[in-house]
Amino acid sequence: MTPSALASSETKKSVASHPEATSDNQEREFPFSDQQFKTLTKMVYDRTGIVLKDNKKNMVYGRLARRLRKLKMYSFKEYLSYLDSPDGTSETGMLINAITTNLTKFFRESHHFKHLFTACEEIVEAQTARGENRRLRLWSAGCSSGEEPYSIAIIMSELLKRTPSIDIKILATDLDTGMLQTGMSGIYNKKSAEAMPDKFKKKYTQEISETQIKMSSELRNLITFKQLNLLEQWPMKGPFDIIFCRNVMIYFDQPTKVSLGKRYAELLRPDSWLYIGHSESLPDETNLKLIGKTIYQRQDRRG
């Protein structure tokens, strides 16, 4: 995820000569004081409720050191100042993503994909009955490294085999350009595909090494990967039949959840579907009704 602007970098200093250096960080690339650790972990707690105890300091350092390098910063003091600035708003999400453990696998929360096939089949049947073109538009919001949109694409490919001639497009967005590059490459570690049914592995993946697989061009052609900050303006107009936004809203406060839920509802067709993460929920103000385990449906506004 790349912020809209980078804070200006300080002149690089060696750790040994830096005034914040202590015996705890003599060997570290960046000075990292106990107070800076506490400030960062409070940010994480305030946003997620996750408690990071003192024994997690090295873990936090290791994950955030990558962010400092990417941002071309030379100290945690500079990084904290950036987080506290207007330009650092989007970086707060990156901070949370870097510190929290993001489990991304194919067919995670498999009940969503079972529902997805049935829901899309019903949508297409209704379009056919009305004499409309068969068309499906799906959005994976916060797609990370792409396992989710590829799982969606597999279900859509299976639907196409049963009901051909459907115009299907899958939009996959994330703020992290590095994650998007992985998605566009379609190359993954075999471990991430452990939950993928064997029949799908045979159909839709190619083994390219002892540890890696590559997703088929059939799937890649269904997906468009784009960078997007969910909290900023959205260029797409919709409408969508399906939106996946899983394990993203857990990091937002209640007003942001309400706002985001309303924006999703506006982009969904009436009676279409939103899937969220297993530990998430949406407020009632969003015009989305919970109809199953972490499955919401937009309620058609009837006058």
Query: pLDDT, tens digit, for every residue of 217-273?
Result: 999 999 999 998 888 899 998 899 999 999 888 767 788 888 999 999 999 999 999
Task: Give the pLDDT band of residue 279 (cuts 50, 70, 90).
Answer: confident
Residue 303: is its pLDDT beyond 70? no
Please check whether residue 103 is in contact with residue 188, taking contact to mean a CB–CB distance below 8 angstroms.
no
What pLDDT is attached to residue 115? 97
Quickly count: other Cβ atoms within 10 Å of residue 129's Cβ: 8
254: alpha, beta or left? (left if phi > 0; alpha if psi -120 to 50) = alpha
Q: Which residues contact 150 (CB under 8 A, 6 or more apart)?
A: 106, 183, 186, 215, 219, 223
Pairing of strands 187-189, 223-227: unpaired
Task: Please give the positions annotated as active site.
Answer: 63, 174
Percent pLDDT > 70 in the chain is: 87
**Helix/strand/coil percentages in the chain, nearest 5:** 45, 20, 35
Residues in the chain: 303
DSSP 58: H
Task: Give the pLDDT band of residue 4 (cuts 50, 70, 90).
Answer: very low
Lowest-pLDDT choice from 20-24, 79-83, 228-232, 298-302: 20-24
What average pLDDT is seen over the chain?
A: 86
The closest alpha carbon to 298, from 119, 126, 125, belongs to 119
Residue 224 has φ and ψ, to the nearest 5°, of: -115, 120
Q: Residue holding tokens 């592995």?
A: 201
Residue 196 has φ and ψ, to the nearest 5°, of: -75, 130
Please check whether residue 115 is in contact with residue 127, taking contact to mean a CB–CB distance below 8 angstroms.
no
What pLDDT is attached to residue 43? 86
Q: Which residues contact 285 (CB under 8 A, 6 or more apart)?
A: 258, 261, 262
Higher pLDDT, 29 or 300: 29
What pLDDT is attached to residue 48? 56
The mean per-residue pLDDT over the stretch 100-109 comes to 77
Distance of CA 133 to the CA centre of its chain: 31
- Rounded to whole angstroms, how far apart are CA atoms 87 and 81? 10
Alpha helices in 205-243 (DSSP H): 217-220
Please check whether residue 256 is in contact with residue 154, taking contact to mean a CB–CB distance below 8 angstroms.
no
What pLDDT is attached to residue 9? 32
CA of 78: how far to CAs of 115, 124, 181, in Å? 47, 53, 28
